[in-house]
Amino acid sequence: MAIRERLSGNEATAIAMRQINPDVVAAFPITPSTEVPQYFSTFVANGAVDTEFVAVESEHSAMSACIGAQAAGGRAMTATSANGLALMWELLYIAASSRLPIVMAAINRALSGPINIHNDHSDTMGARDSGWIQLYSETNQEAYDNMLMAHRIAENPDVMLPLMVCQDGFITSHAIENIELLEDDKVKAFVGDYKPEHYLLNKENPIAVGPLDLQFHYFEHKKQQAEAMKNAKKVILEVSEEFYKLTGRKYGLFEEYKTDDADVVIVLLNSTAGTAKYVADQYRAQGKKVGVIKPRVYRPFPVDEIAEALSKFKAVAVLDKADSFNAAGGPLFTDVTSALYAKGVFDPKVINYIYGLGGRDVKADDIEVVYNKLLEIAETGKVDSVYNYLGVRE
C-alpha cells in the first residue's frame, strides 16, 4: 500500500536517500540543493540511517569524498547545484572514467555569471559530456522515482557509471506536491545491496583506482566508457519496467503526450513540460493537433527512438533552458537534430527556442507563441528563423 504524502522535491529526494541508506553522503550546501543534505543529516542524527555523513569544505571535496568512498567499495551519494557542480568539474570526469556508480541529486540552477540562484539547465547541460548518466524529472514524484531507480541503473555490471537525477531548482525542489512513497522495505528490496566486483578494500584482489593512463591504454578505456553508456539505455528500460510492476508508474526514455495524431510537437525537459501539456490540452479542445515530447533520459541520448518518434510530425520545436552560445542552437536542439540527420529523417521542420534563463517565468502565453509558430510552419512549410529566444525583452 503506497504512502500518500505532501512533500517538496528536496524532501522527496532526501526521503529516497534515507530509504536507500547509502554508506556515505558527502555534501556542501548551495542553493537550491541545500535542503537535500540538510534533511538527510537529520536522518543521520536521529539514527534513521547508518550512513557516514561527511560535511566537507567545498563541492570539490564532496565529490572527492564520494569517489574515495565508492572506490573503497561503499555506496556514495551527494547533492549540488550550479556553481557547486562546476566546482566538481574535474571530479565528475574522474568518477565516470573510474567507473564509480555515484548517485547525485542535481537541483538545476543557472550557472554564474552574472550570479543567479534561480532555475535553468546550464549547470547539468555543461556536464552533459562528462560521462554521467542524466535523468530529468518533471515533478517531485518523478524526482523521487528516478532516485529510487538510480542505483539499480548505475550499479549494473554492464554500466558502472555515475548518475545524476536532475530537477528544477525552486520550481519543483521547494514546491510541495502530492506524492506516493514506497514503503521502506519495498525500497530496500528493490534497490538491493551494493556488491562491487572490484574495490580498494578487497585485500584478496588489490587494485589501483585512477592511475596514470597514457597513450597505450587511455583510448581503449574511453571506448569502454562509451560502450557502458550505450548499455545504460537497455538497463534503464529494464529497471523502469521492473519499477512499473512494483508501483504502477511507467517510465521510458521519454514521454509522449497527445502525439498519436499530432501535426506539431514541442520537445522540452523537466517542469516546463507541465505547462506545455496544459497548453496542449487547450489547443486540443480547439481542434488543433498538437503534442508534447518530454525526454527523461538525456544521457545516454535515445537517438534511434527520438528520431523515430519525431519522424511523423510536420513541425517540431525544441525548447532549451540553456544556451550553448554556438550561434546554432541549444544543447537539446543540437542533439535532436543530430539524431534526425543520423537516422536519415528529414521530414519535420525543426526550430529551436532558448527560454527561461535565470529563472525567467515561462507562462502559457509563451508556449502558445511556440505552438502558433509551429502550426504556421506546418501549414506553409516555411521556416523564417531556426534559432530563437522565447520571452526575452528585445
Residue 394 has pLDDT above 90, yes or no: no
Long-range contacts at 378-383 (CB < 8 A, ≥ 24 apart): 378/263, 378/264, 378/314, 378/315, 378/349, 381/349, 383/349, 383/351
What are the distances in angstroms from CA 271 to CA 8, 236, 276, 333, 376? 14, 21, 9, 18, 26
Could you tell me the three cell numbers for 200? 580498494
- Which domains occur in the chain, in start order? 3-247 (3.40.50.970), 254-390 (3.40.50.920)
pTM reported for the whole predicted model: 0.97
For 30-38, what is the mean pLDDT?
Answer: 98
Residue 109 has pLDDT above 70, yes or no: yes
Under the banding of pLDDT at 50, 70 and 90, the label for residue 7 is very high
For 204-232, what is the mean pLDDT?
Answer: 95
pLDDT given at position 130: 98
Residue 1 has pLDDT above 80, yes or no: no
For 370-387, what is the mean pLDDT?
Answer: 97
Tens digit of each residue's pLDDT (9 = 90 or more) over 170-185: 999 999 999 999 999 9
Percent of the chain with pLDDT over 70: 100
Under the banding of pLDDT at 50, 70 and 90, the label for residue 152 is very high
pLDDT given at position 348: 96
Could you tell me the three cell numbers for 91? 571530479
Mean pLDDT (the chain) is: 97
Q: Locate cell 556488491: which residue?
A: 195
For 19-42, what is the mean pLDDT?
Answer: 98
Q: Which amino acid is at 168?
A: D
For 283-302, what is the mean pLDDT?
Answer: 98
Tens digit of each residue's pLDDT (9 = 90 or more) over 79-100: 999 999 999 999 999 999 999 9
For 339-353, what is the mean pLDDT?
Answer: 96
Sign of the CA dihedral running 321, 324, 327, 332: negative
pLDDT given at position 54: 98
For 65-72, what is the mean pLDDT?
Answer: 98
For 209-230, what is the mean pLDDT?
Answer: 96
For 63-75, what is the mean pLDDT?
Answer: 98
Q: From its phi and psi, is residue 126 left (phi > 0), alpha (psi between -120 and 50) or beta?
A: alpha
For 128-141, what is the mean pLDDT?
Answer: 98
Other beta carbons less than 10 A from residue 42's beta carbon = 12
